[in-house]
């Protein structure tokens, strides 16, 4: 079990769908929530989840197979206070009106509808959905409105807000949209920022003295290493001599992290300097899995499983733990108002 989870009175229950390795879950657990069920179909991610949460029921498999009978068996009659989910971005990549009349045979496109189906089965008091900021503008706002309308049909009051992880002490400028919906007739609360640009956490603070776990630096060679050595903190490929410039369309390619500033959003390939601002502030290499996990505010005793390339993907896909904990605090406040 991950250290640093403080058991508190007034414990509430949560279910985590599309859980990945459990960044959302961990933040809620740190605020005393009890996790009843985590579901994902990514084998390595759910293996990591189970390794770090051996006491939690982790269901690896297609969300469509979580029917009412199976959910009832897993939950054992326990009330679900909160349902959290980071619905995969692919499920919002549809064209036109397809989301409104989705075919069950299309796994990616059905994820959103499957989430709503399970919401209708377990009827949580509060729903929390985290997603990329593009969800607000896709198809002229159709996706956003569909989320709101579907939840309203189930008697939920819905609000959404763009949150920047750096505002909550995460050493990363990671913007995400969060929807909060409740059927307990309360105002939906969003966390107030604890940090501002003047006191954002710089990467130097989280990268010092890294844990030995998941910390195996990738050795660079050839032109990649030659370029990396010439890039100063906060700069990227555009600062290189013309003969070494790549002509990359990625503005952040070969970017070196500025130790005094938060990182930019980590992607699933932060192991390769051409992929963005992922070069260590002072060393000529990309940051490691553990360093990425620290930037994502995971504790050092949270161990990632699977092959290294999978570990990078797991970290890059995760919800920053400190952001999740900030959300958990406000959700708990809403629930306690209802007691």
Across 41-63, b (16+ Cβ under 10 Å) vs e yields bbebbbbbbbebbeebbbbeeeb
CA-based nearest residue to 19, from 54, 61, 55: 61
List active site positions: 89
Q: In whole angstroms, how far apart are CA 136 and each of 13, 67, 142?
A: 29, 30, 8
Residues in the chain: 339
Q: Cβ–Cβ contacts within 10 Å for residue 220, how many?
A: 18
Which runs of E-coded beta strand occur in 126-171? 126-132, 157-164
Q: Is the dihedral of CA 33, 38, 43, 45 positive or negative?
A: negative
Encoding tokens for residue 88? 């995969």
């Amino acid at each position: 079990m991950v250290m640093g989870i403080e058991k508190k009175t007034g414990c509430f229950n949560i279910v985590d769908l599309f859980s990945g390795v459990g960044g959302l879950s961990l933040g809620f657990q740190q605020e005393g929530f009890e996790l009843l069920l985590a579901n994902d179909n990514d084998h390595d991610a759910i293996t990591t989840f189970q390794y770090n949460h051996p006491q939690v029921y982790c269901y690896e498999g297609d969300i469509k197979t979580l029917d009412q009978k199976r959910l009832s068996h897993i939950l054992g009659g326990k009330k679900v206070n909160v349902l959290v989910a980071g619905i995969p971005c692919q499920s919002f990549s549809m064209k036109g009106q397809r989301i409104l009349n989705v075919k069950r045979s299309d796994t990616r496109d059905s994820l959103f509808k499957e989430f709503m189906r399970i919401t209708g089965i377990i009827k949580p008091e509060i729903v929390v959905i985290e997603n990329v900021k593009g969800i607000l503008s896709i198809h002229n706002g159709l996706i956003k409105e569909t989320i709101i309308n579907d939840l309203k049909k189930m008697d939920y009051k819905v609000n959404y807000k763009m949150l920047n992880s750096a505002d909550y002490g995460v050493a990363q400028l990671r913007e995400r949209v969060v929807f909060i919906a409740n059927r307990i007739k309360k105002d939906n609360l969003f966390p107030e920022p604890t940090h501002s640009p003047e006191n954002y956490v710089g990467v130097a603070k989280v990268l010092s003295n890294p844990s030995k776990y998941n910390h195996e630096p990738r050795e660079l060679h050839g032109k990649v290493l030659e370029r990396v050595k010439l890039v100063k903190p906060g700069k990227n490929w555009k600062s290189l001599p013309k003969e070494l410039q790549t002509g990359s369309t990625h503005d952040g390619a070969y970017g070196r992290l500025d130790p005094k500033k938060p990182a930019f959003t980590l992607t699933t390939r932060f192991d390769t300097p051409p992929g963005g601002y992922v070069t260590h502030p002072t060393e000529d290499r990309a940051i490691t899995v553990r360093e990425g996990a620290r930037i994502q505010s995971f504790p050092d005793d949270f161990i990632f499983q699977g092959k290294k390339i999978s570990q990078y993907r797991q970290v890059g896909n995760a919800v920053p733990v400190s952001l999740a904990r900030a959300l958990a605090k406000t959700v708990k406040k809403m629930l306690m108002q209802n007691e």
